[in-house]
């Protein structure tokens, strides 16, 4: 009888331990999914600012139609990648496609801003300056959100790869999560002003 009680207590203990392990993996997965939702909010804000930016630049850059159209195409591709990734946070393919689309958008925005440097009236346009400032602020928020997401992904992956969770994570349906590597914070890098006394 005592042996049966010991076996039952042992089985209940193992069951509770597995429940705790499973719940810990769920919390970690929900953590990186929530962090991705913050990235998504900021990316949509970024995407929403771009048509206004293009419309403002259009009046000054009418002969640069190819660049303006490239920005809109890149924005649309980034929006599609963002929408596709929304339900697949942490999946390697979705994160790679999103990073590729956002990096392509960053490159085309860089070309637009390089062109705007050659047009003092456009550069001095208050709407353009305000949109540029808002875009820069949004991109900084994306960078912070991306860092928080990647930190949560690392926490989740560490939890699922450490013993003994690594023995059960695959069977419980917890695959590895992929970080997000996008370089949108660099889109507005400007050369620092040089000061010379003399």
8 Å CB contact between 187 and 108: no
Residue 28 lies in a domain: no
Residue 79 lies in a domain: yes
A 10 A CB-CB count for 196 gives 4
Question: Domain containing 116: what range?
Answer: 43-172
pLDDT of residue 162 exceeding 80, the answer is yes
Residue 81 lies in a domain: yes
d(C-alpha 163, C-alpha 14), whole Å: 15
pLDDT of residue 155 exceeding 60, the answer is yes
Residue 189 lies in a domain: no
pLDDT at 124: 84
pLDDT at 117: 84
Residue 34 lies in a domain: no
d(C-alpha 180, C-alpha 103), whole Å: 11
Q: What is the CATH number of the domain that holds 62?
A: 1.20.120
Residue 146 lies in a domain: yes
How does DSSP classify residue 90? T
Residue 194 lies in a domain: no
pLDDT at 192: 44
pLDDT of residue 183 exceeding 80, the answer is no
Q: How many domains would you assign to the chain? A: 1
Residue 155 lies in a domain: yes
């Amino acid at each position: 009888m005592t042996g049966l009680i010991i076996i039952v207590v042992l089985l209940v203990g193992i069951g509770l331990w597995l429940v705790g392990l499973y719940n810990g993996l769920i919390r970690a997965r929900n953590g990186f999914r929530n962090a991705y939702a913050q990235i998504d909010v900021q990316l949509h804000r970024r995407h929403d600012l771009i048509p206004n930016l293009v419309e403002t630049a259009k009046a000054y850059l009418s002969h640069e139609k190819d660049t303006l159209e490239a920005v809109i195409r890149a924005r649309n591709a980034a929006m599609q990648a963002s929408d596709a990734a929304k339900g697949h946070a942490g999946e390697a393919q979705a994160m790679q496609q999103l990073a590729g689309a956002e990096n392509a958008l960053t490159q085309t925005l860089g070309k637009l801003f390089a062109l705007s440097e050659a047009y003092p009236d456009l550069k001095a346009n208050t709407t353009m300056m305000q949109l540029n400032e808002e875009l820069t602020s949004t991109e900084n928020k994306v960078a912070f959100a991306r860092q928080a997401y990647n930190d949560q992904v690392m926490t989740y992956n560490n939890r699922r790869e450490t013993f003994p969770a690594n023995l059960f994570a695959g069977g419980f349906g917890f695959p590895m999560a992929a970080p997000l590597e996008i370089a949108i914070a660099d889109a507005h890098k400007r050369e620092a002003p040089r000061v010379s006394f003399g």
